[in-house]
Amino acid sequence: MKTTKSKLFIVSIISFLICTACESFTEVDTPQSQLTTAAVFENAATAEGAMIDIYARIREEGMVNGSFSGLSSLMSNYSDEMQFFGSSEEIKQFNNHTILSSNSLVLSLWNASYSEIYATNLLLEGLKKSTAIDLVDKERLTGEALFLRAFIHFNLVNVFGDIPYITTTDYLKNTQIQKLSQEKVWQHIIEDLIQAEKLLPQDYPTSERVRANKTVATAMLARVYLYKKDWTNAAVKATAVIENPTYVWVANPALEFLRESKAIIWALHPGFIGANTKDARTFVFSKGPPTKPALSPQFVASFEPGDQRRSQWIRTVTSANESWPYAYKYKKTLGSTPPQEYTILFRLAEQYLIRAEALAHLNNIPGSQGDFNKIRNRAGLLNTSASTVESLLNAVAIERRSELFTEQGHRWFDLKRTKQAQEVLEPLKSEWKNSQLLLPIPQSELLLNKNLLPQNPGY
């Protein structure tokens, strides 16, 4: 029987290896992870420690971390949701569409993501070799790691286009890795998610919804199938989530982003008891002109009169006859006991919007209207008047803009996947070019690995 002290020591080894072995996944020096993983994966408790470390990385450094360096901020600036008055030249480049391949925030998105992927692969390889962890725990942790690997690659392919899909910690292979076409990356994402869905149990590993279970993988598949225009499977997977009694519709927009919301499918724990979200600290401000990103006037004006999301999820600071609206989905900029808000990555409303869009494409007008009206009625709006496929798709696009703003880059990804980016952004962004559908691959990564060439067009 291992002592608590020895377990903590092994977990610290895992964290050390993950931190030191993957500053860049194209690192050419021999990584300092040559200790065998057999000792690290002697029992489920130490493997759990490795898994928790990956979630901590995603929370602190990854694309969905909720800070200025995450997609919620950067891609809201890149789309039509935000304007920026601050001094950060890096964020200005996102807001103005003048991004350089040397932009440190672009590099952070890339490096943090591949560091997290390295960690998931290290865990998967350790689980596969382990003979000490029982099958139930091994399958659950494997499913969780596969889900996370797919989730991270999903954001990478949407941001950068053709990318490597990394499935090993072998540094020799990774230093020579080549980009895959977006289509092949999507295939790998779907394969990982299907396997994850099979392996994950329905129950969450903890009392809170801060780690992946089967439904989280199902919700992710619904999102992926929507992006891939597989309308039938998108509707099937969204229906599986919607009909799961674990998840309960929240009828009041004011309660949607609370930690105790039963509509949460997956959220990120803030890291310690008493903390709330980085999102609130990123978007909420009290004076103007703000140094933080503010919502753009044209975005705020896009809400229908009487939309409760406008009154509940947006606030405005006024000074000297000027005003600056800001996102107010997450409200707690300070800690509280108990914590009140976690960063939500999957919630029930998105699944209704996924199914509404998919059913419209499948010519199921009443079904699409029903899901669409679920969202509208919660916002205090009347049922939609849209009654054709085209009008419903246009209405759903507008509804996604109002529902999902400042969340994980949804607005930008929607503009890109529906081919509306040029139409919407060209009148607003003087530097807009059609080549800007993708961010540049960081220049420093191209120097490390020539197999990542060519650079994305326009950079």
CB 455 within 8 A of CB 448: no
**Residues with Cβ < 8 Å from 90, sequence gap 6 or more?**
103, 104, 105
Kindly tell me the sign of the dihedral angle through the C-alpha atoms of 345, 346, 352, 354: positive
pLDDT in tens, 356-412: 999 999 999 999 999 999 999 999 999 999 999 999 999 999 999 999 999 999 999
pLDDT band (50, 70, 90) for residue 41: confident
pLDDT band (50, 70, 90) for residue 21: very low
Model confidence pTM above 0.85: yes
CB 13 within 8 A of CB 26: no
CB 152 within 8 A of CB 408: no
Distance CA 17, CA 34 (A): 9
Task: Tell me how many degrees the CA angle 320-293-262 measures, rounded to the nearest 5.
Answer: 115
Distance CA 163, CA 114 (A): 11
pLDDT over threshold 50, residue 96: yes
Provide mean pLDDT across the span 410-423: 97
Provide mean pLDDT across the span 259-273: 95
Q: Does domain 1-26+38-76+94-200 have CATH number 1.25.40.390?
A: yes
CB 274 within 8 A of CB 280: no
**Residues with Cβ < 8 Å from 115, sequence gap 6 or more?**
18, 22, 23, 25, 57, 61
* Per-residue model confidence (pLDDT) at position 34: 36
Provide mean pLDDT across the span 165-190: 92
pLDDT over threshold 80, residue 4: no
Across the chain, how many H-helices and E-strands are there?
20, 6
Q: What tokens were used for 142?
A: 């494997």
- Separation of CA 121 from chain center: 19
343-347 and 264-268 strand pairing: antiparallel
In the block, which residue shows the tokens 């070799």?
A: 129
* Per-residue model confidence (pLDDT) at position 23: 43
Nearest Cα neighbor of 452 from 23, 33, 26, 19 is 26
The residue that leads in pLDDT, 35 or 377, is 377
pLDDT over threshold 80, residue 82: yes
Provide mean pLDDT across the span 241-245: 98
Provide mean pLDDT across the span 174-179: 85
Q: Where are the domains of the chain?
A: 1-26+38-76+94-200
Provide mean pLDDT across the span 40-67: 91
The residue that leads in pLDDT, 154 or 131, is 154
The residue that leads in pLDDT, 294 or 10, is 294
pLDDT over threshold 50, residue 11: no
* Per-residue model confidence (pLDDT) at position 16: 40
Percent of the chain with pLDDT over 90: 86
Question: 12-16, 224-228, 237-241: lowest mean pLDDT where?
Answer: 12-16
Distance CA 170, CA 30 (A): 10
pLDDT in tens, 154-164: 999 999 999 99
* Per-residue model confidence (pLDDT) at position 29: 35
CB 397 within 8 A of CB 421: no
Distance CA 141, CA 47 (A): 8
pLDDT band (50, 70, 90) for residue 10: very low
* Per-residue model confidence (pLDDT) at position 84: 96
pLDDT over threshold 70, residue 109: yes
